[in-house]
């Protein structure tokens, strides 16, 4: 593999010194970019875009042609594993992801196959290999998966949900069935992320999008424990250097200490917790990623720069900070505002790393 020209993202994840705070953005390949919208239209639909390694590579690289991001993230979807288990993922305009089949009982769980990475999800690993080749060492590539709990909520509900009534009812009424599902998903996610690492991913992120809907005991039992299991089973090194793991639980600020003790190298933060307070709570045990409110990108470049400055000041001097949004960028953001964001991070953070 070609040596990395810019490794500050990987260095920051491991708490090592950097010249400036690295920055990338969740959903950085997405609908706010006109070139992405054009490629998606060419693909015909979202799943066709995901399942074409060439088109997935193209949209992964698009934001890097515009902005000085310090990492690329594989273009894919968190629901590829349930789709490969035969649930029939599809996307309806304006409605988000939906499944043709749901998982509601012990028989449904028992019938789920563990996906074969060499056939069912080969399009993902092929995309990773192609992206790494096309990046040519410019920046690292992030692989990812949804957390078992987050995947389970979609599989049980059949789509997104406001109250997660089917998932929570199964969890409380038949915890043994929920644990069987989560255990099967944890095994699949471990194999999936290791396949991405083997194909060239240099860091991985677990998106625990719906962990924050749980009570504290339920979060530990039904979400964090399975992410801990995944982390323990991941390849620790590749190509002669560590492969850092990021855990991002949306609305997970209550549980920072537990997440930091999960074995992850970095805790992703949403915007509901102050990053300086998070750093004070967990010290230098792990690095922190985050955590600007994505809605700031609807404001002026001056306001964006001021908020970047505030977050950098809150974190303070030293290492272990990867700048990111507190969730994914939203579709109607002006692409020029992303330039203001990325440039501000690099320009304003240098003084914190002297």
- Choice among 67, 154, 192, 226 that is catalytic: 154
Mean pLDDT of the residues in the chain: 96
**Which of 190, 80, 72 minimizes the C-alpha distance to 133?**
72
Distance of CA 317 to the CA centre of its chain: 26
pLDDT of residue 353: 96
Has 28 been labeled as part of a binding site? yes
Torsion on CA atoms 77, 40, 196, 1, rounded to nearest 10:
-160
Q: pLDDT (tens digit, 9 = 90+) per residue, 54-75? A: 999 999 999 999 999 999 999 9
pLDDT of residue 91: 86
CB environment 163-172: b (16+ within 10 A), e (fewer): ebebbbebbe
Active site residue 154: yes
Has 346 been labeled as part of a binding site? no
pLDDT of residue 15: 97
Has 332 been labeled as part of a binding site? no
Task: Quickly state the pLDDT bin for 128 (edges 50, 70, 90).
Answer: very high
Q: pLDDT (tens digit, 9 = 90+) per residue, 2-61? A: 889 999 999 999 999 999 999 999 999 999 999 999 999 999 889 999 999 999 999 999
* Residue 70, H or E segment: none
Distance, in Å, from the CA atom of 196 to the CA atom of 198, rounded to the nearest integer, reads 5
Three-state DSSP at 207 gives strand
Has 209 been labeled as part of a binding site? yes
Cβ–Cβ < 8 Å for 203, 243: yes
Strands of 76-224, DSSP E: 89-92, 96-99, 141-146, 203-208
Active site residue 65: no
Task: Tell the residue number behind the tokens 């998106």, with chain if given.
Answer: 207
**Which of 221, 232, 289, 265 minimizes the C-alpha distance to 70?**
289
Q: pLDDT (tens digit, 9 = 90+) per residue, 326-347? A: 999 999 999 999 999 999 999 9
Q: Which residues contact 193 (CB under 8 A, 6 or more apart)?
A: 143, 144, 145, 201, 204, 206, 230, 234
Ordered by where they begin, the domains of the chain are 33-290 (3.20.20.210)
Q: How much of the chain, in percent, has pLDDT values that exceed 90?
A: 95
Distance, in Å, from the CA atom of 178 to the CA atom of 174, rounded to the nearest integer, reads 7
pLDDT of residue 2: 83
Has 321 been labeled as part of a binding site? no
Q: pLDDT (tens digit, 9 = 90+) per residue, 92-124? A: 766 789 999 999 999 999 999 999 999 999 999
Has 77 been labeled as part of a binding site? yes
pLDDT of residue 222: 98
Active site residue 83: no
- Choice among 40, 66, 241, 310 that is catalytic: 40
Rg, the chain, Cα only: 19
Strands of 156-305, DSSP E: 203-208, 237-238, 241-242, 245-249, 266-268, 287-289
Q: pLDDT (tens digit, 9 = 90+) per residue, 216-249? A: 999 999 999 999 999 999 999 999 999 999 999 9
pLDDT of residue 92: 75
pLDDT of residue 49: 94
Active site residue 132: no
- Choice among 7, 70, 77, 270 that is catalytic: 77
Has 29 been labeled as part of a binding site? yes
Active site residue 31: yes
Assign 3-state DSSP to the chain and report helix, strand, coil percentages, each to 5: 50, 10, 35
Task: Quickly state the pLDDT bin for 84 (edges 50, 70, 90).
Answer: very high
Structure-block tokens of residue 147: 């957390």
- Choice among 27, 37, 98, 241 that is catalytic: 27
Has 327 been labeled as part of a binding site? yes
């Amino acid at each position: 593999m070609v040596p990395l020209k810019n490794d500050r993202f990987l260095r920051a994840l491991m708490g090592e010194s950097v010249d400036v705070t690295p920055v990338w953005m969740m959903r950085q390949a997405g609908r706010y970019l006109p070139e992405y919208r054009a490629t998606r239209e060419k693909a015909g639909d979202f799943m066709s875009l995901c399942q074409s390694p060439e088109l997935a590579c193209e949209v992964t690289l698009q934001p890097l042609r515009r902005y000085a991001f310090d990492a690329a993230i594989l273009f894919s979807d968190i629901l590829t594993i349930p789709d490969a288990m035969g649930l029939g993922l599809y996307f309806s305009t304006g409605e988000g992801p939906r499944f043709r089949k749901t998982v509601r009982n012990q028989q449904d769980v028992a019938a789920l196959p563990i996906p074969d990475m060499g056939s069912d999800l080969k399009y993902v690993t092929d995309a990773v290999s192609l992206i790494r080749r096309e990046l040519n060492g410019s920046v690292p590539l992030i692989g990812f998966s949804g957390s078992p709990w987050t995947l389970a909520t979609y599989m049980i509900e059949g789509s997104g949900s406001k109250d997660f009534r089917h998932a929570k009812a199964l969890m409380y009424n038949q915890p043994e069935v929920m644990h069987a599902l989560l255990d099967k998903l944890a095994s699949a996610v471990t194999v999936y992320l290791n396949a991405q690492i083997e194909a060239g991913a240099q860091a991985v992120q677990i998106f625990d999008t719906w962990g924050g809907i749980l009570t504290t005991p339920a979060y530990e039992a039904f979400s964090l424990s399975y992410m801990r299991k995944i982390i323990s089973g991941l390849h620790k090194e590749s190509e002669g250097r560590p492969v850092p793991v990021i855990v991002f639980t949306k609305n997970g600020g209550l549980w920072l200490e537990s997440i930091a003790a999960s074995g992850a190298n970095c805790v992703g933060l949403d915007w509901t917790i102050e990053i300086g307070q998070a750093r004070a709570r967990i010290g230098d045990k792990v690095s922190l990623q985050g955590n600007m409110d994505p809605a700031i990108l609807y404001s002026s470049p001056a306001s964006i720069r001021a908020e970047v400055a505030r977050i950098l000041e809150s974190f303070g001097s030293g290492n272990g900070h990867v700048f990111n949004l507190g969730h994914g960028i939203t579709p109607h953001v002006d692409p020029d505002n992303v330039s203001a964001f990325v440039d501000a991070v690099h320009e304003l953070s240098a003084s914190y790393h002297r």
